[in-house]
């Protein structure tokens, strides 16, 4: 895909190149360097992205930060985040050897010894892009080698006497909520990444990821509600909401809430990169019709059928950003409703305060995607 093939939705609604570039520049400063930054440098050569709501560093945020850096051509910041990840988060023994601990204190001390697969898949994709954009270096900066080794662990752990469990179900090719789990998270499904893993992973792993891309698109059709287009946070393999109580937590995860928002954005970016629609793109279209961007109170908690539960969303900007990004799954010209979603997103500033981390990550991805700057390298 060439530079000219990336769709600039902001220009479609009349924003100028100068306006768009200023918004991106301002967001770089806000996220990485400003008073409300999430990126923090440590010493001469490391940095972390802080989840300000939980006062920790997570593989989600670290890998998101790396993806933002490679898209923005910020190699120094990328390398700092990667070195912190490898020093403090990467596990070299035990059942989770080869994975990253999903949460650490900002000092580097681990809060957990378990991984979260969304971190691993973003790490791998960011590393491949870094290899192609900047070239491979030595040691941990041999980006493509690091990516291939990580993907090998993700699908081969538990085979041939290797300890641990894989991050994908090797039978149905669906990514799991965690290694060995019997359910998934719809927002972890990134078929656009798997298409590229199928080209760049070790030769013996490529067929698996090609099948995973197809399986995830089929799963996303099942996961998005037939009326509302909303998907649950966690899902059974058949696409239904996962309502079983988990032994380590007591919250619901079968509703349209925080994690869920990413799914529509992922579907939009998948279509932007690969133009494949087997029916999954209808989910975000239904979502944009269910929620009116100009109506007060839309940023709320919902059942997946669209029933509001009378509580405000924890991450309202994340909901707006991802729903706006989902318009990439609809061909130009934009419908009136889709245009209003993009206008609504454009009018929103980055979030401030304690819970700005997740919202501002999703905001930044949407900003890049809708301006044609979330690209394959």
Q: Which residues are catalytic?
A: 60, 259
First-last CA distance in the chain: 9
DSSP-assigned beta bridge partners for residue 48: 40
Tell me the pairing of strands 300-302 and 308-312: antiparallel
What is each CA distance from 240 to 245, 276, 279, in whole angstroms?
Answer: 15, 23, 17
Cis previous bond, 333, omega within 30: yes
Report the SS3 class of residue 250: coil
E strands of 212-334, at which residues?
Answer: 300-302, 308-312
* DSSP annotation string for 165-206: --SB-TTT-PBPSSTT-S-B-GGG--HHHHHHHHHHS-GGGH
Q: What is the CA 136 to chain-centroid distance, rounded?
A: 24
């Amino acid at each position: 895909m060439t530079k000219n093939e990336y769709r600039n939705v902001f220009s479609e609604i009349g924003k100028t190149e100068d306006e768009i570039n200023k918004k991106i520049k301002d967001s770089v400063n806000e996220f990485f360097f400003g008073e409300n930054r999430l990126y923090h440098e440590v010493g001469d050569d490391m940095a972390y992205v802080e989840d300000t709501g939980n006062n920790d560093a997570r593989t989600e945020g670290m890998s998101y930060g790396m993806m933002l850096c490679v898209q923005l051509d910020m190699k120094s910041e990328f390398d700092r985040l990667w070195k912190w990840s490898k020093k403090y988060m990467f596990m070299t023994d035990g059942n989770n050897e080869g994975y990253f601990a999903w949460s650490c204190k900002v000092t580097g001390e681990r809060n957990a010894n378990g991984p979260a697969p969304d971190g691993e898949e973003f790490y791998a994709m960011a590393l491949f892009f870094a290899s192609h954009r900047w070239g491979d270096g030595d040691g941990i900066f041999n980006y493509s080698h690091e990516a291939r080794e990580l993907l090998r662990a993700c699908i081969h752990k538990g085979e041939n006497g290797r300890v641990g469990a894989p991050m994908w179900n090797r039978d149905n090719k669906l990514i799991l909520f965690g290694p060995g789990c019997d359910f998934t998270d719809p927002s972890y499904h990134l078929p656009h990444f798997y298409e590229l893993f199928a080209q760049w992973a070790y030769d013996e792993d490529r067929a698996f990821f090609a099948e995973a891309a197809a399986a995830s698109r089929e799963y996303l059709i099942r996961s998005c509600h037939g009326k509302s287009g909303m998907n649950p946070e966690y899902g059974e393999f058949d696409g239904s909401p996962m309502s079983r109580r988990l032994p380590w937590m007591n919250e619901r995860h079968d509703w349209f809430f925080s994690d869920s928002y990413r799914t529509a954005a992922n579907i939009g970016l998948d279509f932007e990169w690969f133009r494949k629609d087997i029916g999954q793109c209808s989910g975000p279209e239904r979502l944009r019709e269910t929620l009116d961007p100009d109506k007060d109170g839309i940023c709320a908690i919902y059942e997946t059928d669209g029933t509001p539960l009378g509580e405000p969303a924890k991450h309202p900007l994340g909901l707006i950003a991802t729903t706006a990004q989902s318009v990439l799954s609809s061909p130009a010209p934009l419908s009136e409703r889709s245009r209003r979603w993009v206008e609504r997103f454009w009018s929103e500033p980055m979030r401030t305060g304690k819970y700005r981390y997740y919202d501002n990550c999703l905001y930044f991805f949407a900003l890049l995607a809708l301006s044609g700057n979330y690209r394959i390298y």
